[in-house]
Amino acid sequence: MLAVSNLTKRFAGLLAVDNLSFTVPAGKVTALIGPNGAGKTTVLSMASGLLQPSNGSVTFDGRSIIGSPGHTIARLGISRTYQNLQMFEDMSVLEVAMTGAHRCGTSNIWSTLFGLPSIIREERLIETAARDALAEAGVPSTLFGQDAETLPYGLQRRVELARALAAKPRLLLLDEPAAGLNPVETRDLSALLSTLRAGGLTVLLVEHDMDLVMKLSDYVVVMNFGRAIAAGTPRQVQSDPQVVEAYLGAED
């Protein structure tokens, strides 16, 4: 589904991603792991149109998405969450989720300005999609009208996931979704992602919680200093000497 080939990203004198290649097969959970600063989030940002690569290619269903703006990539069926929460100020939980569903809208500016029936119908469809996504993410309906920024951290994580799901993606990019969650919340997240995969959703996961990664992932790509140092099943990468060295260090 997603193919990354010889991907490179330079920031002035820093080589953040160095000739990286891997594929994300449809209907599977692929994890991108590595120590802090390995370049994982930079890869997600290039795959979602937030950053443009210095070299290499990213294709989705055989179509190059290099140079495409984020909204175009979203319309193709790619949605993402962020490492740091991205709630909107003074917006309710439902309104935050609805911002994700707006990529499915087709009305133009004139329909909006004149309040045509089509825009009213579309807003209802967007609200329904947001409500469904919030329910899928496990957000209680009693909270839909509450200011999103006032929710506990774990619930804000669920709202952000719901916003991504409201776009009805085929590929979901997750940047450390378990960061800051307690063990119960992490377990619930793992169960939710398993359900989404069973429903056919493809996931590219960046995560530091190795227990979650190894239990959930079908395939794991390990990065260090911008390069892929190992790839394979969870069992294969756990026993790879380069992976052990990257995480634990090597003896002198």
Measured between alpha carbons, how far is 38 from 42 in angstroms, rounded to an integer? 9
> Which domains does the chain show, CATH number per domain?
1-77+169-252 (3.40.50.300), 89-167 (no CATH)
Percent of the chain clearing pLDDT 70 (strictly above)? 90
- Expressed in angstroms, the distance from the first to the final Cα of the chain is 42
Q: What is the pLDDT of residues 211-247, one digit of tens each?
A: 999 999 999 999 999 999 999 999 999 888 888 787 7
Name the pTM for this structure. Answer: 0.88
Measured between alpha carbons, how far is 92 from 146 in angstroms, rounded to an integer? 5
According to DSSP, the β-strands at 2-11 and 14-24 are antiparallel
Q: What is the pLDDT of residues 146-157, one digit of tens each?
A: 999 999 999 999
Q: What is the pLDDT of residues 116-142, one digit of tens each?
A: 566 677 788 899 999 999 999 999 999
pLDDT at 105 over 80: no
Instruction: Of 26, 21, 14, 13, give the one whose Cα is nearest residue 43.
Output: 21
Instruction: Of 35, 33, 39, give the one whose Cα is nearest residue 15.
Output: 39
Q: What is the pLDDT of residues 88-103, one digit of tens each?
A: 888 999 999 999 887 6
